[in-house]
Amino acid sequence: MICFQAEIVEAMGLAMRQINVGLLGLGTVGSGVVALLEQQRELWQRRFNTRVDVRKALVRNPSRHRPGCEHIVCTQNAAEVLNDPDIDIIVEVMGGAQPALNYIQRAIENHKPVVTANKLLIACHGHELFDLAQRENVSIGFEASVAGGIPILHVLRQSMINAPITRITGIINGTCNFILSHMEQNGETFTRSLSEAQALGFAEADPATDIGGLDAAHKLTIIASMAFGIPLKLSALTVTGIENIAAIDVFRARELGYCIRHVAVAERREDGLSLRAEPVLVEDQSLLASVQGAMNAIVIETEGVGDMMFYGPGAGSLATASAILSDIADLLPAPSSASTPPLGFLPQGITSQPMIQPGLIHHPWYLHVHLKEQAGAMAALTGALAQNDISLERIVQPQGDTDTDRVPVIAITHEIPRACMDAAMEHIRNLNCVHAKPVFLPVLTIY
Ligand SMILES: NC(=O)c1ccc[n+]([C@@H]2O[C@H](COP(=O)([O-])OP(=O)(O)OC[C@H]3O[C@@H](n4cnc5c(N)ncnc54)[C@H](OP(=O)(O)O)[C@@H]3O)[C@@H](O)[C@H]2O)c1
């Protein structure tokens, strides 16, 4: 629990808490934190009665124009951020080992809680940071260091305590996954797929850490430590990158019913643990094979509860910023003597909102009708649809039942409101040429 020194402002008839953040770094993730705070202002008010503002940022080049960040004081002098008594929380998003390690240590010594996205730092220096933070009674959050927007560390720390983990298998490097799935879909070479990833912003100008497997290894080090209660030890891992994966192997694997993915595995067996981050073949029907592009996915296998899969954006400005803001939220003391509100919103933050009438929701629809074998039946059906403004995207007439006079018709409509479909169904049910009750179901578009 921390005590914030910043000013109190009045809002919602209550004293709203003000939190001031100092950023170390204002690049991809840092600017995402600034943007997301702006986007989620109202939500933070309703949930925590709190306003969070980034006041200062440490950067290499303070004179660079940073759209959306004009109100932030940019400086090259770390002390200006770390020693500012008005800064309540330090968010480290500069990356690398030094000087980030040194700055975080100084923040902790100044009794400022720290949130970081720096996996290298946690994987390689986590224990010294945690020891210092414990001695100084200061919190350190690092959810953003693994799998970006997927809150996997929260799950491991808090939600899985009664389900001993037997194995965690994850696609946790978006660059590797983008390259491998691009090779697979386009029959491209590794080099051309890497260039495409760089052109689209899914790979760094210097991609060595990603494609060599080290980035996944840093994340796996953290995951394994939290899953099995072992020390953070990068050297315990077997790490192989994807640089040597050839297009022909991707092709041959597909012929055999497999996909190649860069996968991190932390596995507990009777004879010990195995930690590895390497390219592997996975069955093409498996959940991991369905993970395309720069997305991440993590499968947790447990004793007792069974298996769970978490899927989402593993990197990116706003996704990573979301994990940082959730760590900041965890640092907030409860707004009153009461504990965190049971529904996650403060009582005064719970507000009724307009509900959309079901009839106004748009979907494509699946339609299954049995027509009597008689002249004009199909025309009557399509006429009923047309009268209700329904057009068909696809229609098939599977083989009918030879013992009866029923002719099945199956169709997918274009997107239409439920009200139109309800009206059309009423109409179709009453047609003389329709046998039995027609079936209609909404088609939900989801990955
Ligand atoms: N990008 C992602 O999607 C992502 C996802 C998860 C975790 N992360 C982690 O988040 C951290 C930041 O990543 P990023 O992509 O935001 O990096 P980035 O875009 O390169 O931004 C780095 C920022 O830090 C500043 N900086 C770097 N070294 C500095 C130094 N020695 N002194 C002062 N300022 C310095 C830079 O200043 P200038 O702007 O002046 O150059 C820049 O503002 C890394 O640890 C990364 O692993 C990133």
Q: Determine which residue's CA is closest to atom 15 belonging to ligand 1.
A: 28
Q: Do 371 and 381 contact (CB within 8 A), yes or no?
A: yes
Cβ–Cβ < 8 Å for 242, 262: yes
- Nearest atom in ligand 1 to the alpha carbon of residue 31 is 16
Q: Quick check: is 285 in a domain?
A: yes
Residues 305, 216 within the same domain: yes
Question: What is the structure's pLDDT at 35?
Answer: 98
Both tokens of 281, joined, read 């073949």
Does residue 92 sit in the same domain as residue 190?
no
In terms of domains, do 106 and 199 share one? no
Residue 304 reports pLDDT greater than 80: yes
Does residue 144's CB lie within 6 angstroms of at least one atom of ligand 1?
yes
pLDDT of 342 > 90? The answer is no
297 and 392 co-located in one domain: no
The torsion angles phi and psi of 349, rounded to 5 degrees, stand at -90, -10
Question: Pick from 166, 196, 161: which is nearest to 179 by CA?
Answer: 196
Alpha carbon nearest to ligand 1 atom 25, residue = 25
CA of 243 to the centre of ligand 1 (A): 25
* Cα–Cα distance for residue pair 76/82, rounded to 1 Å: 12
Q: Is 69 in the pocket of ligand 1 (CB under 6 A)?
A: no
> With the C-alpha atoms ordered 307, 312, 317, 322, is the resulting torsion angle positive or negative?
negative
Q: Nearest Cα to 88, choosing from 11, 18, 34, 8?
A: 18
| Ligand 1 pocket residue status of 117, Cβ below 6 Å | yes
One domain for residues 168 and 303? yes
Q: In terms of domains, do 400 and 331 share one?
A: no
Residue 9 has pLDDT above 70, yes or no: no
CA of 139 to the centre of ligand 1 (A): 22
The pLDDT confidence band at residue 14, using thresholds 50, 70 and 90, is low
Answer yes or no: do 141 and 180 share one domain.
Answer: no
Distance separating alpha carbons of residues 323 and 242, to the nearest angstrom? 28
> Which atom of ligand 1 is least distant from the CA of 60?
40
* The predicted structure's pLDDT at residue 399: 75
- For ligand 1, atom 12, which residue shows the shortest CA distance? 93
Asked, for residue 18, whether it belongs to a domain, the answer is: yes
Mutate to test the pocket of ligand 1, among 92, 93, 101 (most ligand atoms within 8 A of CB): 93
1 domain-assigned: no
Q: How many domains does the structure of the chain reveal?
A: 3
Please tell me whether residues 37 and 80 are part of one structural domain.
Answer: yes
Query: H-helix or E-strand containing 339?
Result: none
Query: Which pLDDT value is given to residue 401?
Result: 62
Cβ 93 under 6 angstroms from ligand 1: yes
Does residue 375 belong to any structural domain of this protein?
Answer: yes
Structural domain harbouring 253: 152-313
User: Which are the catalytic amino acids?
Assistant: 219
Residues 416-438, mean pLDDT to the nearest whole number:
93
Looking at the predicted structure, is the pLDDT value of residue 13 above 60? Answer: no
343 plus 434 within the same structural domain:
no
Beta carbons within 8 Å of 216's beta carbon, 6+ residues apart: 172, 173, 176, 239, 262, 264, 277
Residue 95 backbone class (left: φ over 0; alpha: ψ -120 to 50; beta: rest): left
Output the domain CATH number for residue 424: 3.30.70.260
Q: Which is more confident, 435 or 139?
A: 139
Instruction: Using the mean position of ligand 1's atoms as its centre, give its distance from the Cα of residue 333 in Å.
Output: 28
Point out which residues pair with 296 in neighbouring strands.
312
Query: Residues 173, 302: one domain?
Result: yes
Residue 86 lies in a domain: yes
CA distance 211 to 205: 12
CA-closest candidate to residue 421, choices 407, 438, 434, 433: 438
Taking the model in full, what pTM does it have? 0.87
104 in contact with ligand 1, CB cutoff 6 A: no
What CATH number does the domain containing 345 carry? 3.40.50.720
- Cβ–ligand 1 distance for 296 under 6 Å, the answer no
Ligand 1 pocket test, candidate residues 320, 324, 325, most atoms within 8 A of CB: 320
Q: Do 84 and 113 belong to one domain?
A: yes
Task: Decide: 60 in ligand 1 pocket, CB within 6 A.
Answer: yes
Cβ(61) – ligand 1 distance below 6 Å: yes
**CA of residue 141 to ligand 1 center, whole Å:** 17
Indicate whether 370 and 329 sit together in one domain. no
Domain-located, residue 447: no
Is 330 buried (19+), middle (13-18) or exposed (0-12) by CB count in 10 A?
middle
pLDDT confidence band for 6 (50 / 70 / 90): very low
- Alpha-helical (H) ranges within 40-147 are 41-48, 78-82, 100-109, 119-136
| Intra-chain end-to-end CA distance of the chain, in Å | 40
